[in-house]
Structure 1
Amino acid sequence: MQCLSGAAALPPTVNSLLFIRPSPPPPRTLTLAVTLNDGEPSRSEPRVLSCCSCGRRTGLLGAAAAAPLLPITTFAAPVASSSDPTVVMERLRPPRPDWYEEFYAQAMEEGMRSYEAEIAGYKEKLFSYLTDKSKNILELGVGTGPNFKYYATINDLTVIGVDPNKQMEKYARSAAVAARLPETSFSFIRGVAEALPVRENTMDAVIGTLVLCSVKDVDTALREVKRVLKPGGLYVFIEHVAARDGSLLRFVQGTLDPLQQFVADGCHLTRQTGKQISDAGFSSIDLKTAFLSSVSLISPHVYGIACK
């Protein structure tokens, strides 16, 4: 028996949350400067209601310069049949060259500052619903850790950050230090949202911001979110989505979507993620929309809280 690579070095609390499974045999096997007026308000009021009594990213970062050298598949692949998280990850998101993963991690660290400044008000409102009862948190696509500062004050917190890009870890750990999150409270695991390396019914909250745009299978990822959440656990989300049908922005998104997937590590511009979250079978959900000026091509957003 062995656990996911790297889990043995984790604190005992984290190890108790991870899957432990026998290893299966190996498988055989523009940036675009556009300002568009979509006829929508520039911003909606960041107001979130209590969802129940239980109380990746944009990719528009200049990666196009490196993209022609990368072996990146741009079409959606079916989820691997194996239940082992490592096998599923290798099937859905094969490792990129180290230089590219570092390039992308650094681009995320440096290129998202204006976005984070504009989205901060929405995040502050959403993360305020996490209380000291939210002891165990899993963050999908943890990236460089921009969300840590919003929930690091929770007492006795344990955070598992899952991301397929191993180069994100050092940036995420630096963000954890800056947020005064105890070093022993944060663990980074390489993985994908479609096969979370965590036991069922163990998480008080799952957080995902700009993640579902890049996963291979949104519905499978949402089933995994529900699987790992405890009954009454919260799913906190912010995602960019397709613009209104028939709008100029929607036409541009549809035109550029294949290119976006290629240069931005699988990011899709035209997903109806809000509808998929609404249809995922959560016991209750509070979903709202927002329009951001700092990222015109992905301006339409959905955000909210779903309760298992």
Structure 2
Amino acid sequence: MLIHTTFSTSLYPKIHNTQKLKAIKSSVSESTTLKDVPFHSQTQNELNQLKKKVKDPLSCSNKFCFCCSRRDFMAAVGTAALLPIHPSHASHDSSPTDPMAMLDRLHPPRPDWYEELYATAMNTSMKSYEAEIEGYKSELFANLRGDQAKQILEIGIGTGPNLKYYASKAGTSVYGVDPNRKMEKYAQAAAVAAGLPPANFKFLHAVSESLPLRDASVDAIIGTLVLCSVADVNLTLQEVRRVLKPGGVYLFVEHVAATGKDNVLRFVQGLLDPLQQTLADGCHLTRKTGKSITEAGFSDVESHQVVLSSASLINPHIIGMARN
């Protein structure tokens, strides 16, 4: 039951590997529409040159090596594409931080089979949870109206279960951030099923603590069951505020530590929290996420608590909206 109710977090063995690679510099438009962002600005010749600088991801002679050349290639291409968008934490951090370096530090390369297993489990095991929370999400995402639905970023997009609530709105473009690359195919399929044109959806392989987008570049940010497992909650919220336009909204659904009359549940959460962190790659049962959001510096925060029968230990949930 514990494993079933925590598939919304990251469940990975940790294998560490880092390698610095130079990125190709490119000059691009400052527009934040998907058709103009630098993800599509690399020429074929530039990519071919990049491929020659790193190993062919399929050529490793060690069949037990999960994370060498494949991750090197992704780091090179990813850094080249993302660097013109956001090479640092801008106003919130004076030290430049490469999103790919942050990805490697906070979410080291995992075996392909494990990331695929987890992505598949996420795609199939959350149906009862999603069915129970559907009404709450429908009400929450109804706040995305007009200009607030043009440029949307979802952190921890996973397999894309939220896309059906907002991606069908006319003129919407969506960026989906997730550290698990294997989530991409499921998120892409969910975007298509929601009626979002392929050209209007971009999956970004990154962590929420270093979002590869410019300052004030999106109208809304969505995060559901994300802050329980990020390495740094406060840094993630700083990044959310940095990327949001003035007046933009952050919509969230998070599980938090039980309080008050739920003393028994709170005791069990505290008892199992170390095990949960180990099994679920850092997911915390006892985080006071609502307090963190309230103190992050948003101009206004509204939220309420709900308890979901399908969520078991990861209760209660806070559901709300913060305005930048």
TM norm structure 2: 0.72
| Residue 248 of structure 2 corresponds to residue 233 of structure 1 | yes
Contact persistence 1:2–1:20 (CA under 8 A): no
Contact persistence 1:21–1:84 (CA under 8 A): no
Letter in 2 for 1:100: Y
Largest Rg, 1 or 2: 2
Residue correspondence of structure 1 range 180-259 to structure 2 within 5 A? 180-244=195-259, 247-259=263-275
Contact persistence 1:2–1:23 (CA under 8 A): no
Contact persistence 1:284–1:306 (CA under 8 A): yes
| Among candidates 272, 280, 285, match of residue 269 of structure 1 | 285
Contact persistence 2:85–2:214 (CA under 8 A): no
Residue correspondence of structure 1 range 282-301 to structure 2 within 5 A? 282-301=298-317
| Residue 150 of structure 2 corresponds to residue 128 of structure 1 | no
d(CA) in 1 for partners of 2:222 and 2:233?
A: 15
Contact persistence 2:178–2:204 (CA under 8 A): yes
The aligned counterpart of 2:104 is: 90
d(CA) in 1 for partners of 2:146 and 2:182?
A: 30
Residue correspondence of structure 1 range 7-26 to structure 2 within 5 A? 11-15=34-38, 19-20=83-84
The aligned counterpart of 2:276 is: 260
Letter in 2 for 1:13: D
Q: CA RMSD in A?
A: 2.4
**Richer in helix (by share):** 2
Cα deviation for residue 258 of structure 1 reads: 1.2
Contact persistence 2:156–2:226 (CA under 8 A): yes
d(CA) in 2 for partners of 1:292 and 1:23?
A: 40
> What 5-or-longer segments of structure 2 have no aligned partner?
1-22, 27-32, 40-80
Cα deviation for residue 22 of structure 1 reads: 10
d(CA) in 1 for partners of 2:284 and 2:323?
A: 26
d(CA) in 1 for partners of 2:283 and 2:245?
A: 29
**SS of aligned partner of 2:110:** coil
The aligned counterpart of 2:190 is: 175
d(CA) in 2 for partners of 1:196 and 1:2?
A: 19
| Among candidates 116, 128, 147, match of residue 114 of structure 1 | 128
The aligned counterpart of 1:307 is: 323
> What 5-or-longer segments of structure 1 have no aligned partner?
5-9, 25-78
The aligned counterpart of 2:64 is: none
Bigger relative CO (Cα 8 Å, ≥ 6 apart): 1
